[in-house]
Structure 1
Amino acid sequence: MTAATSSRMPRHAAWRRLRRNPGAVLGSLLLALLLGCALLGPLILGGPLAQDLGARLSPPSSAHLLGTDQLGRDVLSRVLNGARISLGLGVGVMLASLLIGTAVGLLAGLLGGWWDELLMRLTDIFLAFPGLILAMAISAALGPNLRNVMIAVALVSWPAYARLVRAQVLALREREFVEAARAMGSSPGRVALKHLLPNTLAPLLVQGSFDVGSAILTAAGLGFIGFGAQPPTPEWGAMVSETRNYIGQAPWASSAPALGILLTVLAFNLIGDALRDVFDPRHA
């Protein structure tokens, strides 16, 4: 069997196990539905900021399938536009956190010595603060808007990737294939990018799947307490905050964005659980 064939076999086996995992199937269907709504919904429905004060707090009807809010805005249109915002924010935060944490973890594990100590103590400083409190402080310092929410949540989330990558690098850097690459004259950068980083992709994929949902939840929490997206932006957390005083009179106005948060986080958690089961050696 050639090296190329042997490297493909685990991926094929992992893909088969993933297709047979009920959580992966359900999570993927939910995610596909959410992506479809986020992409097509705003094109079909009217604008999320259009007001009709004569129809404020109207219950669900043929004109407004999920009713209207306190300003007469169509709740369904706002929820679907909020899906686009929340999914983009969650993926963007995950990618930014992944890049920062991977770079820090690779440097710490590969260089060792005082570099390792310095980078890991910096990581510990970020981990010493509760994530939401630190995100609130950063968002308040930068100013409450969507861009700054992404920055704040990314700065809170990267330490998990740094510790994960460092642990993987420490476990791999003395292995035979790494020593062989060094003996052949490979530079430290080439060793890191070609031999160490590819072997960290499976745990990073699992962590990233969970973190998209976590980032969406954190951003919604910031929006709810006023440190995130500001009205009239149709972000789910801000929408729940705007309509919470009308929950007895018009429960649909706050329950619809809350359900969007629930389903999105559930989809990514199901996918993350499935990926963890697939890549766990005990399930091989």
Structure 2
Amino acid sequence: MRRNPGAMIGLTLLGLLLVAALLGPGLSGDPAAQDLGARLQAPSGVHLLGTDQLGRDVLARVLNGARISLGLGVSVMLASLLVGSAVGLIAGLRGGWWDEALMRVTDIFLAFPSLILAMAISAALGPSLSNVMIAVALVSWPTYARLIRAQVLALREREFVEAARALGSSQTRVALRHLLPNSLAPLLVQGSFDVGNAILTAAGLGFIGFGAQPPTPEWGAMVSETRNYIGQAPWASSAPAVAILVTVLAFNLLGDGLRDMFDPRAAR
């Protein structure tokens, strides 16, 4: 990783974001506190990133939004990873009609544009942050299912798997002890990319009103709330937009670094 400048930049940015998410909300004050007398103030020593249309401190809202967005992205990735890995392991190991049925269900989810499907699920469940997490997780798991199935098909006839079966290991033990650990490298790479994708999708849903609702300081919702004042107070909408950009960029750079690190051809 140290030999990859992009990966180190991504790690540094993620470290700063984690510090901001953990320590920022306690130092920046209440993100919902309103002061109509100080509405749309430009950045200053009192408000480092200015204020929005309700006089709320933009820096406080961005820092609190970091905790929400990072938690949402990681939670969605973990949920998608668990569901997709289970589906992929069963399809790859059992084969036959299990494989056909599970992969056809996966194809149905992959047939729809992910953002459109997430919008439909969010609209059906109702606009809220928890429903956004469910919607984004539901459109993200097929990628992991396809990935883990391909890994299982490539590994299940290898000598170490045959040896485990010959020693009496059950299918479950073979899957969890031998197949899944040897499939972690591509899963980690895909997971690092998907955290950024989940944050971006959730921000898009928040922007159009299907995600977090006011006064929750979610970055996409913040951009939506302040978009009508972009000419008068560009800092109110640009600050959360830049936060989304930096966060997604950091996870993408980290994913590129992990892919190069796990690729033996790149190592040579």
RMSD: 0.5
| 2:233 matched residue in structure 1 | 250
**What letter corresponds to residue 135 of structure 2 in structure 1?**
A
Deviations 1:43-64 (A, max 9, x none): 1111000000000000001110
- The alignment status of 1:22 with 2:9, answered yes or no, reads no
Residue 281 of structure 1 deviates from its aligned partner by 2.1
For residue 246 of structure 2, the aligned residue among 243, 249, 263 is: 263
Q: Structure 2 regions of 5+ residues with no counterpart? A: none
Distance 1:41 1:181 in 2: 50
Distance 2:122 2:25 in 1: 28
**What letter corresponds to residue 53 of structure 2 in structure 1?**
Q
- The alignment status of 1:164 with 2:157, answered yes or no, reads no
- The alignment status of 1:277 with 2:260, answered yes or no, reads yes
For residue 79 of structure 1, the aligned residue among 54, 62, 69 is: 62
| 1:129 matched residue in structure 2 | 112
Paired residue secondary structure (1:159): helix
Paired residue secondary structure (1:202): helix
| 1:54 matched residue in structure 2 | 37
| 1:13 matched residue in structure 2 | none
TM-score (norm 1): 0.93
**How many residue pairs align between the two structures?**
267
Distance 1:19 1:99 in 2: 30
Distance 1:270 1:163 in 2: 23
Paired residue secondary structure (1:19): coil
| 2:220 matched residue in structure 1 | 237
Residue 23 of structure 1 deviates from its aligned partner by 1.1
Residue 165 of structure 1 deviates from its aligned partner by 0.1
Give the % identical residues.
Answer: 84
Distance 2:17 2:161 in 1: 42
Distance 2:19 2:3 in 1: 23
Mapping 1:164-243, distance limit 5 Å: 164-243=147-226
Paired residue secondary structure (1:20): coil
Distance 1:138 1:110 in 2: 31
- The alignment status of 1:113 with 2:79, answered yes or no, reads no
Distance 1:28 1:86 in 2: 17
Residue 19 of structure 1 deviates from its aligned partner by 1.9
**What letter corresponds to residue 99 of structure 2 in structure 1?**
D
TM-score (norm 2): 0.99
